[in-house]
Amino acid sequence: MKVIFLDVDGVLNSKDWLENNRVRTETSVNPEKVKLLAEIVQKTNAEVVLSSTWRYISEHPMFMYLSDMLGQNGIKIHSLTPKLDGDRPKEIKAWIEKQTEEIQFVSIEDDFSFADYKKYGIESRLIKTDFWGTNGGLQKKHVNKAIQLLNE
């Protein structure tokens, strides 16, 4: 099974985009970034597992908007990582270890570092984005790397 562990803030949006578009909190997902994520899903047939803190707010309008935006682009949230101690790489590793089939994966996020992922031996699967700057969020270079890793 191919899996994309998805963070939201800093991947499907960026500080620059949020400020320039003056979006409401509940609509803080950039449609162009969702299209880039859809490209990864389409070219790899990967499932999306939400690893973002957004998974804590499943009844909130922000989460509903996220689900709708993903759905409009043919993406469904397959699962959520477990809520452990806020250590995203640890939560990803725990999710993988519970699976019965082999998992080929990437984690797309901006918060945790390669060193954080290295603690669990999964640093090579990190696609590191950035919340800050004019090139924040998911970029074409991240898409290409994710496709390459998932299709190895």
Domains of the chain (ranges; CATH) run 2-150 (3.40.50.1000)
Q: Which amino acid is present at 48?
A: V
Contact 116, 107 (CB under 8 A): no
The pLDDT tens digits for 79-134 are: 999 999 899 999 999 999 999 999 999 999 999 999 999 999 999 999 999 999 78
CA atoms within 13 A on the CB side of 67: 14
**Residues 92, 105: Cα–Cα separation, whole Å:** 10
The pLDDT tens digits for 123-152 are: 999 999 999 978 899 999 999 999 999 999
Q: What is the pLDDT of residue 98?
A: 97
pLDDT band of residue 23 (cuts 50, 70, 90) is low
